[in-house]
Structure 1
Amino acid sequence: MLVRFRPLALLLMSLFCLASQPLVAQETATSGEQFSIPATDEGLPGEGPIRRYDWFKNLWKNKRSGWAKQIEKDQNAVVFLGDSITQGWGDNMGGSFGDMKVANRGISGDTTRGMLVRLDEDVLSLNPKAVVMLMGTNDLEEGASPETIAGNVKLIIAELKKHNADMPIVLCEVFPSSASKKRPADKIKQINQLYKEAVKGDPQITVVDTWTLFANENGDAKKEEFPDLLHPNQEGYAMWAAALRPIFATLGYLETNADDFEVEPGFESLFNGKDLTGWMFKANPEREGKKTSIAWPVFKEDIVFDGKTESSDGRYQAVNGRLVVTTPTEGRRIQQLWTTREFPKDFILKLEFRATPNADSGVFLRQPQLQCRDYLLAGPYKDLKNYKPQKWNEMVVTVKDNVAHCTCNGEVLEEAYKLPETGPIGLEGDRGQMEYRRIRVKQLP
């Protein structure tokens, strides 16, 4: 009987195999189509161009199909979303951020609308720890208006916020390029202005001034950093990384070890590295009712922050040995943090500071403000030879007979800066992120 039914069994098995093969092929095709560019714009979110050149369709599909296999591996990474500038940085962003987990989701040639279409599968599926956005330059080449580009970015941000209302979003301004690349400076500046207006006042978003970082006097890219006036070279990527590292450090992703610096004999620390003990907001009722285009908080009474890790508004924070003046959500916000004590005697003040691109701050000496900024971009000391952009720099102020001699990395900022007889030391916040550390003073006989 077994022999009699064997041909029938083989026939049934063959039929089953034949029947299942088209299903497998169909599933594979469907899986591939999932990562293909839609044939038309109909029903797609956003507005403006989606590229459909053959080379781009193949790249878009191949990149996304590959990423789909890494979803589990890339969970909770800091995700970089962008186009060829982002893609060209490499899978691990050139190793620029140490052990911080990163995922590169840049596709060469992509537009803001294309990124919106692929956002769910390429970015949100990773449950990012944070998202870094750089986008918009290719839209310009395709003739999109700045308003259309900014509209798509708003939609992307809305989806990111909907996915996770606490996830940090770092929005990089569109890099400069050239009119010869169909990316004129005036259009890029307009896009960046619309970006800043769109996120103004949003504490979830940090805007990084990567336009001023790279632009020449005409607002275009420089050959030494962008050989083709569009894509950064190794030097350009190093500058971008340096602009982002302080932001990641403030978020707690980098530089998480405590500072092991020891104060020199004769000096005393004004900042313990752990909290804001000894610092305060001074009452400034005289500002109440004054109109200004820049945010300028008013405090009716002194607010002392002894034992607090951040100021009452969160602007000033103690983070792993650094006193951080965070990027204001308003774009610019002027306020000062003061020591609770005054310094009537002659003294030497030493500190180190680090500024994000074009950041603006200041160090108050009893009362007058010594400008402390990203000097080469923000001034006023643009000719310094020893200043290190987006790295730590040392400021030394020696006060004798109510006159201060001020240096940065050994170069003179002010030879004879006149001061009042007494007053506290203060740190100002204006635009961008500023960080201070190793703040110490030595009273002179």
Structure 2
Amino acid sequence: MPHHLRILLTLTFAFFLLSTPQLDAQDKGFAIPETNQGLAGDGPIRRYDWFRNLWQNRRANWSKQVEKDQGAVVFLGDSITQGWGDNMGGSFGKLKVANRGISGDTTRGMLIRLDEDVLSLNPQAVVMLMGTNDLEEKAEPETIAANVKLIIAELKQHDPKMPIILCKVFPSSEKKSRSAEKIKKINELYEQVAHGDPQVIVLETWLPFADENGDAKAEEFPDLLHPNKQGYAKWAAALMPIFATLGYVETEADNWEPEPGFESLYNGKDLTGWMFKANPERKGKKIALAWPIFEEDITFDGKTESIDGRYKAVGDRIVVTTPAEGRRIQQMWTEREFPKDFVLKLEFRATPNADSGVFIRAPQLQCRDYPLAGPYKELKNYKPQDWNELVVEVTGNTARCTCNGEVLEEAFKLPETGPIGLEGDRGQMEYRHIQVKETK
């Protein structure tokens, strides 16, 4: 090799060493264990050179900001989480967040770094998105779900009241060694892991992104694995209603007043005027879904939530929370009935694929995340995970029902009289600005 080239290479290598962050002895304690022996969980732990360096550097840097990140909402995941940026792209305003995503990480890797990277921050909540890299390493869905179960158990042991938001695995592609079949199986197992646990909120983050084949859409996942700006915006929109219900965002007082001639059916502070109606007729009936039975009417005057916490008064809205069972049928009714002609107006916001309904004198008008849950999938004005206006104009025994001005039902059949109700089924639904005006 010519002398001048040898000198150039020597200088280049020296510059590389000087410009690469050097880890002290304490920082090197964040290295990946050399073997799996004695480690919690099961399945793959990556040890590629690039991953070792990334894992060690990110964890060492995080260890220097533990005090700063105390009480944050912690996002735990892999490259999809890491790629959102340190403050999650500023998607949640002033909410304190901490990004603990490491590109390439697996569920077992996240389990063994959980204590130092997450629990040390004493989070106010944890958002989990994980599992896709395990598939590339040929792990089975059952192994992945078992690791997630262990992570949830440790989070719960650390703080038995801290909300845990478990996001379903995003769609990808067989080309990325992540088939739709395997991802759907993981998500089914995640639902089973969380079933019956009120501390864990399973968020539907597969359906909003999947195409007709169950794979990622190129316009949101250009490489069929990582979301672009549009994809991250949809993820943020899915999380926002949950954060609002938890009191993390949208905390400013609402100055809304009913329109002239209308009266509000919600006083903005508690569930006065609302009730669970007795439904003993359901006794003995077999149904695959949870459906609570009440022997007598239960009113909520002066109460900020229903007896089981499913319905909550949260600032300017009534929230029907995500059921721990995945699906649970419940119905909350006004104490008064409406025999006269009237106009009902309200706004609603649904998490992805949420299923709810508004009862008009008893018959149910489906009120859902329509594009995913139906039945009105072709609406052009519907705004997913945003506020939408429902207007019901009752004349005699029929009602004309619209959403953001588009007709849902032109002549919805009704009985002579009855209350107004809000159903709970799947996902979370919020209702606000609930107002009614008698027209006859």
TM-score by structure 2 length? 0.94
Q: Is 1:409 the counterpart of 2:409 in the alignment? A: no
1:115 corresponds in structure 2 to 110
2:262 corresponds in structure 1 to 267
1:100 corresponds in structure 2 to 95
1:253 corresponds in structure 2 to 248
Question: Shift of the alpha carbon at 1:29?
Answer: 4.9
| One of 295, 299, 305 as aligned partner of 1:304 | 299
Amino acid at match of 1:132: V
1:212 partner SS = coil
1:441 corresponds in structure 2 to 436
How many residue pairs align between the two structures? Answer: 418
> CA-atom RMSD, angstroms?
0.8
Amino acid at match of 1:108: S
Amino acid at match of 1:65: A
Amino acid at match of 1:371: Q
2:238 corresponds in structure 1 to 243
Partner deviation per Cα, 1:33-76 (whole Å, 9 max, x = no partner): 21111111111111100001111111001100110111000000
Amino acid at match of 2:126: V
2:285 corresponds in structure 1 to 290
Amino acid at match of 1:61: Q
Matches within 5 A, 1:395-434: 395-434=390-429
| One of 140, 143, 155 as aligned partner of 1:145 | 140
| One of 52, 56, 79 as aligned partner of 2:51 | 56
Amino acid at match of 1:129: Q
Cα pair 1:360 1:431 within 8 Å, conserved: yes
Q: Is 1:200 the counterpart of 2:220 in the alignment? A: no
1:44 corresponds in structure 2 to 39
* Structure 1, 252-261 or 143-152: larger mean CA deviation: 252-261
Cα pair 1:82 1:107 within 8 Å, conserved: yes
Partner deviation per Cα, 1:297-332 (whole Å, 9 max, x = no partner): 101100000110000000000001110000000000
Question: Shift of the alpha carbon at 1:258?
Answer: 2.1
2:148 partner SS = helix
User: Which blocks of at least 5 consecutive residues in structure 2 are unaligned?
Assistant: 1-22
1:313 corresponds in structure 2 to 308
- Distance in 2 (CA, whole Å) between partners of 1:403 and 1:177 is 46
Partner deviation per Cα, 1:378-435 (whole Å, 9 max, x = no partner): 0000000000000000000000121100000000000111111100000000000000
Matches within 5 A, 1:8-87: 29-87=24-82
- Distance in 1 (CA, whole Å) between partners of 2:257 and 2:156 is 42
Matches within 5 A, 1:345-360: 345-360=340-355
| One of 144, 165, 168 as aligned partner of 2:163 | 168
Q: Is 1:393 the counterpart of 2:388 in the alignment? A: yes
| One of 360, 379, 382 as aligned partner of 1:384 | 379
2:165 partner SS = strand
- Distance in 2 (CA, whole Å) between partners of 1:256 and 1:288 is 41
Question: Shift of the alpha carbon at 1:351?
Answer: 0.1
TM-score by structure 1 length? 0.93
- Distance in 2 (CA, whole Å) between partners of 1:88 and 1:354 is 28
- Distance in 2 (CA, whole Å) between partners of 1:282 and 1:326 is 19
1:178 corresponds in structure 2 to 173
Cα pair 1:284 1:298 within 8 Å, conserved: yes
- Distance in 2 (CA, whole Å) between partners of 1:403 and 1:292 is 30
* Structure 1, 307-316 or 213-222: larger mean CA deviation: 213-222
Matches within 5 A, 1:354-373: 354-373=349-368
1:34 partner SS = helix
User: Which blocks of at least 5 consecutive residues in structure 1 are unaligned?
Assistant: 1-27
Cα pair 1:255 1:320 within 8 Å, conserved: no
- Distance in 2 (CA, whole Å) between partners of 1:130 and 1:341 is 39
Question: Shift of the alpha carbon at 1:32?
Answer: 2.6
1:139 partner SS = helix
- Distance in 2 (CA, whole Å) between partners of 1:289 and 1:132 is 39
| One of 259, 272, 276 as aligned partner of 1:277 | 272
2:26 partner SS = helix
| One of 176, 186, 192 as aligned partner of 1:191 | 186
Amino acid at match of 2:180: A
- Distance in 1 (CA, whole Å) between partners of 2:187 and 2:25 is 39
Partner deviation per Cα, 1:168-223 (whole Å, 9 max, x = no partner): 10000001111111000111011111111011010111010001111111111111
1:16 corresponds in structure 2 to none
Amino acid at match of 1:261: W
Question: Shift of the alpha carbon at 1:291?
Answer: 1.0
- Distance in 2 (CA, whole Å) between partners of 1:256 and 1:402 is 40
1:244 partner SS = helix
- Distance in 1 (CA, whole Å) between partners of 2:133 and 2:379 is 36
Partner deviation per Cα, 1:231-278 (whole Å, 9 max, x = no partner): 001010000000001001101111112221111110000011110000
2:365 partner SS = strand
Partner deviation per Cα, 1:123-170 (whole Å, 9 max, x = no partner): 011010100000000000000000100010011111111111111100
How has the CA–CA distance of structure 1 residues 29 and 69 changed in structure 2, closer, same or farther, with 3 Å as cutoff? closer
